[in-house]
A and B are shown apart, each in its own frame.
Chain A
């Protein structure tokens, strides 16, 4: 996949003075693309900064009064409204159980790094090292500090920690985001472990059964919630994997805008993988008329790319409100049942 052309950092953005006020690099180190809409961004940020400030004050108060982050209704509400970036590592670690593992296993991460390495695993990881966020200044080989080495370490340690999974493409992006947010290798490792061993189904194992299962589950949910979209997919013979495999594998990285992804991840670490369906169903439901206009398979593919861009997803705060209302009810028991049914269906078809 090709990244959008890099921003010309020396200048010349036609007109629009917002481009002079807004940084060419976002707060997470990503260079803004050439077609970045600085004016809309500035307008959006003028509102979102108010939200961020308000949330930041509330979070500081909440965390000051607590010795340990405890999961409760209030915290859940707070998480859904967004964790300030300065507290993300702390809350993600606590809510996902990564902190417990981290404390229970002192020295484990270093031990993994110190042990003999599987050369095949090393090679596979190295292939993707230069291909992880080349548009992020923190990952550029010339930057100091450069996150490529920590990225390599986290992936290598994880590959040895969970040899069934080893390394799967997509994990590089996840580890990359974790490093950007936590700025800490070991915490990134334990968060990776929380995601892969507890929060997500088996997306990354060689059979990718969890991925196939969730793609099929999404299809079933769309069939119930937006049957016309489901019909469109059948009519054009589009397999769900074609349009949504990256959504699941990359947990919306490089699919949705960075800030939106992080807001989704806040809920992912706190509430679990159900949130991934809420996001997918919201995108589909919100754009169902557009999807139904598709006249061919390439049309469908194009539209599914289109719906992950634009004002609806850029406004992360409103988008996050939508995902809890727009798709309607989605109970854990429904999801559990659907997953079980789809999993056994796939297993029986593959055997």
Chain B
């Protein structure tokens, strides 16, 4: 079965806004237009999740980690999932893998299904088929590796080509703890992010800096979109800025 053939099949996840990843029993009929409206009224009491894990959730989203090889995608994921950083215990990711984590966002159990991908360029022809179904993309570069930063433009082009139009996107400058080896200034990251209108922050999988925040911000944005509550406006970058300040973390 080929990539293209498969994608033409039962495409339950054709849009990032559809309820393709929602838990069973959430399927209130869609009112009016398709897409996010389907997720109205998703706040039900806990029910069995779709995965083999025993965690309950109300809504689920697919998040993908992308970026050059060695920027720390797997480390970021493990830091977020298990609050651990085991220096020198990671092996390079071949192909694609995922982990789940359920977050409590304002009383709603939001499950993030986080997909980790191989960074090497040639694997992209295998992995970009998955962008299409992603609700959010975390695009990483390594602040100690100039070329990983320079490749961000190419990544954005790739994302625009294969991901959904309304995908939630965030740019992360990882390894922010490595002060001595830093070659990409924080301002450069900010500038690039601004140019493309993408929220940005620096993270460190080693110290945990902003890792939780990055995923929480994405989860909040996705949850906000799905319940589509017009009374509250959620602005991802504003939230991130506020939380980063209040966290009082080092900003090198």
A interface residues with partner B (beta carbon < 8 Å) = 1-3, 5-6, 123-124, 127-128, 130-135, 168-170, 172-173, 204-208, 211-212, 216, 219-220, 230, 233-235, 237-242, 245-246, 249-250, 254, 295-296, 298-299, 301-302, 342, 345-346, 349
Contacts and interface: CB of A to CB of B under 8 A. Distances in A.
A250 B89 contact: no
23 contacts: A1-B91, A1-B97, A3-B89, A3-B90, A5-B89, A6-B86, A124-B120, A130-B88, A131-B70, A131-B90, A132-B91, A132-B92, A208-B122, A211-B126, A234-B9, A237-B11, A241-B126, A242-B95, A242-B130, A250-B94, A298-B50, A298-B100, A299-B52
B69 A127 contact: yes
Interface string B171-196: 00000000000000000000000000
A237 B91 CA distance: 28
Contact of B88 (A134, A212, A249, A295): A134
Nearest to B125: A208
A298 B86 CA distance: 26
Given A207-B122, A302-B51, A134 B2 contact: no
A337 B121 CA distance: 30
Nearest to A172: B92
B213 interface: no
B198 interface: no
Nearest to B50: A296
Nearest to A2: B78
A169 B118 contact: yes
B234 interface: no
B1 interface: yes
Contacts of B147: 123
Given A3-B90, A237-B12, 16 more contacts: A1-B93, A5-B86, A123-B147, A124-B120, A127-B70, A128-B92, A130-B88, A131-B70, A172-B92, A206-B122, A212-B3, A212-B126, A241-B96, A245-B96, A298-B50, A298-B52
B121 A206 contact: yes
B250 interface: no
B89 A240 contact: no
B84 to A, nearest CB: 9
Contacts of A170: 94
Interface of B: 1-7, 9-13, 50-52, 69-70, 74, 78, 86, 88-98, 100, 113, 116, 118, 120-123, 125-126, 129-130, 147
A128 B69 contact: yes
Contacts of A230: 1
Given A3-B89, A134-B90, A237-B6, A168 B95 contact: no
Contact of A233 (B1, B93, B122, B123): B1
Contact of A242 (B70, B96, B100, B116): B96
The 9 closest A-B pairs by CB, nearest first: A245-B95, A219-B1, A127-B70, A131-B92, A296-B50, A239-B6, A298-B51, A206-B122, A246-B95
Contact of B98 (A6, A128, A168, A298): A298
Nearest to A296: B50
A344 to B, nearest CB: 11
Contacts of B113: 298
B16 to A, nearest CB: 15
B91 A131 contact: yes
B88 A169 contact: no
Contacts of B129: 239, 241
A268 B71 CA distance: 34
Contact of A301 (B2, B92, B98): B98
Contacts of B12: 237
Contacts of A302: 51-52
Given A2-B86, A235-B10, A299 B94 contact: no
A187 B128 CA distance: 37
Contacts of A168: 120, 122
A44 B74 CA distance: 34
A302 B7 CA distance: 20
Nearest to A129: B92
A208 B92 contact: no
B238 to A, nearest CB: 33
Nearest to A222: B1
A317 B128 CA distance: 39
A211 B2 CA distance: 11
A50 to B, nearest CB: 34
A169 B69 contact: yes
B90 A208 contact: no
A302 B51 CA distance: 8
Contact of A246 (B3, B4, B94, B125): B94
B3 A1 contact: no
Nearest to B88: A134
A1 B100 contact: no
B91 A254 contact: yes
B52 A135 contact: no
Contacts of B93: 1, 169
Nearest to B77: A2
A302 B49 CA distance: 14
Contact of B120 (A132, A134, A169, A298): A169
A132 B69 CA distance: 14
Contacts of B78: 2
Nearest to B71: A127
